[in-house]
Amino acid sequence: MRRGSGVLLHITCLPSPFGAGDIGTWAYKFADFLAEAKQRYWQVLPLNPTDMAYGNCPYTSTSAFAGNTLLVSPELMVCGGLLMQGEVERLASFPRDRCDYATVISQKENLFNLAYGRFRKERNTHYERFCVENVHWLGDFALFVALKKHFHGKMLSAWPEEIRDRRPESLQQARNALREEIEREKFLQYLFFKQWSRLKNYCNQKGILLIGDLPIYVSHDSVEVWQHPEMFMLDGEKKPLAVAGVPPDYFSLTGQLWGNPLYRWDRLKETGYKWWMQRVSHNLNLFDMLRIDHFRGFVAHWEVPAGARTAVKGKWVRVDADDFFERLCNCFPSTSFIAEDLGVITPDVRKVMHHFGFPGMRVLLFAFGEETAHHPYAPHNYQRECVVYTGTHDNNTVKGWFENEATPEEKERVFRYLGREVRGDSISWEFIRLIMMSVADVAIVPMQDILGLGEEARMNRPGTLEGNWQWRALPEHLSPLLVHKLLEVTETYGRA
């Protein structure tokens, strides 16, 4: 990793006339903004399909491979001849500063139907090649989506037994009955990956590397559980025997109960971790680097019995991390990965990170909860091989934290560290300067902190379903004045 800096901004947060950010015009304008400010990295959240039932959380998805077609750009569909300009102009008006997911999904479904109606009339060799190259996941994903609609959104475990258990004759009957819906879903995936590939190429040509986010677990109600039940701890009805979470700690007396089915690592090992290698390879085609979420779960996971109401009665279960990461690093460069090592990290996890050369994360917001002299997140204690953030998508903004969460003692530690008192309207850029001037190879700043926004711009409040993942930047935010300000601090601290 070269010394540099970048911005954390998810695609849905981009400006757009279509109710949620997408891979269209404003994604390219944001890439131009980054290039003009001499940024090296653009970090986004997972791009997999989201669900209104789970608050459109990008970490809860029906697929580990498919793309979120909500991010497909209507503008680019017009340019490609799949839509008419008038069809796009007739869309409803949307809020400028928030994602209106319900309306966006409804409007885009109508556009997708129009586009597919035109596309299906012509043979497309690029589409056919895409289907062949992604055969290991695409067909089953499209069938899974079609079946979910056919069964009125019921969870996989509530499907008819012959479909749930993938009996060949029943699956073939379903493919025949739902053929048109299946082909439509495959077309939409082709459209997503085509648009994303062009954006990635554009960014790379401007010297910008894309950092993706790889959640460790998949959802119980996902095509992976249906397609590969042998990989997970499930009973005969495809219900989890045990689920993932984290134990009680400083932040929660009952821990966190995530509910994702846990992997049978012994079964995965027997296959040479084939599914994981396919998943990582697929993601490294989309991104230049990957942040591995909940890295410590690859060393030991917190196993909670199914049906438990909290994570208190879980237990640590070790994983053969050395064998897994040996295989991973034989297939991909270790420099492709960033380990999300936040929270309580034990020596065995640090040992694995050090052995394979995975850089970890540091979050400046966490540095002032206690004395900073020996705090690992205080800038003077950073090492070069790490990625430092002012905050993440799960934290308040710096200004929001300072004005609404920081205790008087924490504020005093901030003032002492800076050498002077500061106000809420300047604290974001004080934090930005601290991480920019640090020795850490990579400094990443959420766009909300670059804009100096408060709690109203927070992306996510963990443990809640309502009101998350909705914040959006406005067109006027990407101003020449902001480019100059970000460029100045980037050049000053040798990150350009």
340 classed as catalytic: yes
| Amino acid 123: pLDDT | 76
Structure token digits, residue 336: 């492709």
| Amino acid 462: pLDDT | 86
Question: Residue ranges per domain, the chain?
Answer: 4-492
CATH number at 4-492: 3.20.20.80
Structure token digits, residue 352: 């694995």
Q: Which residues contact 488 (CB under 8 A, 6 or more apart)?
A: none
Torsion-angle region of residue 255: left (phi > 0), alpha (psi -120 to 50) or beta? Answer: left
Burial class (CB in 10 A: 0-12, 13-18, 19+), 347: exposed
Q: What does the alpha-carbon distance between residue 335 and residue 369 come to, in Å, rounded to a whole number?
A: 31
Q: Please, where are the H alpha helices in 236-334?
A: 265-270, 274-286, 321-331
Per-residue pLDDT of the chain (496 residues; tens, 9 = 90+): 789 999 999 999 999 999 999 999 999 999 999 999 999 999 999 999 999 999 999 999 999 999 999 999 999 999 999 999 999 988 878 899 999 999 999 999 999 999 999 999 887 899 999 999 999 999 999 999 999 999 999 999 999 999 999 999 999 999 999 999 999 999 999 999 999 999 999 999 999 999 999 999 999 999 999 999 999 999 999 999 999 999 987 667 888 899 999 999 999 999 999 999 999 999 999 999 999 999 999 999 999 999 999 999 999 999 999 999 999 999 999 999 999 999 888 999 999 999 999 999 999 999 999 899 999 999 999 999 999 999 999 999 999 999 999 999 999 999 999 999 999 999 999 999 999 999 999 999 999 999 999 999 999 998 788 899 999 999 999 999 999 999 999 999 999 9
| Amino acid 92: pLDDT | 77
Which residue, chain included where needed, has tokens 């986010």? 213
Q: What does the alpha-carbon distance between residue 461 and residue 465 come to, in Å, rounded to a whole number?
A: 8
Q: What does the alpha-carbon distance between residue 185 and residue 31 come to, in Å, rounded to a whole number?
A: 29
Choosing from 224, 340, 441, 449, the catalytic residue is: 340
Choosing from 36, 394, 403, 455, the catalytic residue is: 394
First to last CA, the chain: 14
| Amino acid 251: pLDDT | 66
Q: Dump the DSSP string for 31-71.
A: HHHHHHTT--EEE----S---GGGTT-TTS-S-SS---GGG
Q: What does the alpha-carbon distance between residue 477 and residue 440 come to, in Å, rounded to a whole number?
A: 27
| Amino acid 122: pLDDT | 80
Choosing from 100, 293, 341, 449, the catalytic residue is: 293
Q: What does the alpha-carbon distance between residue 385 and residue 212 come to, in Å, rounded to a whole number?
A: 18
DSSP code, position 7: E
The dihedral sign for the CA sequence 66, 72, 78, 82: positive
